[in-house]
Structure 1
Amino acid sequence: MEYIIRELKESEVEVLDIFLYEAIFIPKGVMAPPRDIIYQPELQVYVKNFGKRKGDICYVAEFCNQIVGAVWVRIMNDYGHINDETPSFAISLLKEFRNYGIGTQLMKTMIGKLKEQGYKQASLSVQKTNYAVHMYKKIGFEIVDENLEEYIMVCRL
């Protein structure tokens, strides 16, 4: 599958709403939440006014002129918050584009950009039952904390 990874254009920021919803992990047998769940304050921290703050970075995967995946970071008080110098990751792909290595490539691209910009680490939170945990570990994230449902993971850059 041929795709390109590129920076998100300012005119495309609204696409993050789609990928924010797609980032919600829905275990097998559980009904998907309504799309308007992304407007809850604890989820809006990921996308509201994206691109306006220092540290907001986003890359997208494009296939046949369609954005099919996105990875973005920002320093925010989210589920994976470590401190005010550590960007938190969000990543998702449209369902039909998962398991092709696109997510791994998006993550590696972002990690490279964060290193280039001098960040020391990046974090994320992920539900323990999410298949992506293995991919995160493979690219260098380590579990630094957990609760009943989620791991907090950090990648030292």
Structure 2
Amino acid sequence: MNGYNIRLGTTKDEQFLWEMLYQAIYIPEGQPRPTRDILNEPHIEKSLIDWGRNGDTAIIAEDHDHQPIGAVWVRLFDESNKTYGFVDSQTPLLGMALMPEYRGKGIGTVLLGEILRTTKEFGYKGISLSVDPTNPALQLYKRFGFKKIGVDGTSWDMLVTF
């Protein structure tokens, strides 16, 4: 599969998911990346804190040496802990990132397809996400049927239904 494998994530992948959450923070070209302290901000850390609760699902891409290179994950939220992209307590919220050197190679397309298939199999009716409208990933989400349902700050909330 083009020099990488896809597998279901486990709680052992939590450290890598934190790295992916950092990589998922979109920074426009020419702008400096924030420090990793940004992961401690309440609206960001709730994306992964206490990973492994009911509904948490991740799919990991690994290179041929079994080193993780990308991930996509979904997590349920409710009114008490909602974050960017929240729709309702029955709609998982998506996070996704690849290590920079693996972007633009089709791996994200495979990961997104797998999480959509898996989430649908689990009986969910859709997935939501939050994306900066200048992020190139927006085109990928649109290809998979995500539609803009609102604006939160400078980001778009998007939803795909099954």
TM-score by length of 1: 0.95
Q: Which residue of 2 aligns with 1:98?
A: 103
Q: Distance in 2 between matches of 1:39 and 1:148?
A: 19
The answer as to 2:116 corresponding to 1:111 is yes
Q: Which residue of 2 aligns with 1:43?
A: 44
The answer to whether the 8 Å contact 2:60/2:70 transfers is yes
TM-score by length of 2: 0.93
Q: Secondary structure at the match of 1:123?
A: strand
Q: Secondary structure at the match of 2:59?
A: strand
Q: Given residue 123 of structure 2, which amino acid in structure 1 is its aligned partner?
A: G
- Which consecutive residues of structure 1, in runs of 5 or more, have no partner in the other structure? none
Q: Which runs of 4+ in 1 moved over 4 A?
A: none
Q: Deviations over 1:77-125 (max 9, x none)?
A: 1100001111000000000000011111101100001110110111000
Q: Which residue of 2 aligns with 1:130?
A: 135
The answer to whether the 8 Å contact 2:5/2:61 transfers is yes
Gap change, CA 1:148 and 1:38, over 3 Å in 2 = closer
Gap change, CA 1:11 and 1:29, over 3 Å in 2 = same
Q: Given residue 104 of structure 1, which amino acid in structure 2 is its aligned partner?
A: T
CA RMSD, aligned part only?
1.1
Percent identity over the alignment?
Answer: 37
**CA shift at 1:148, angstroms?**
5.4
**How many aligned residue pairs are there?**
156
**CA shift at 1:147, angstroms?**
4.4
Q: Which residue of 1 aligns with 2:56?
A: 56
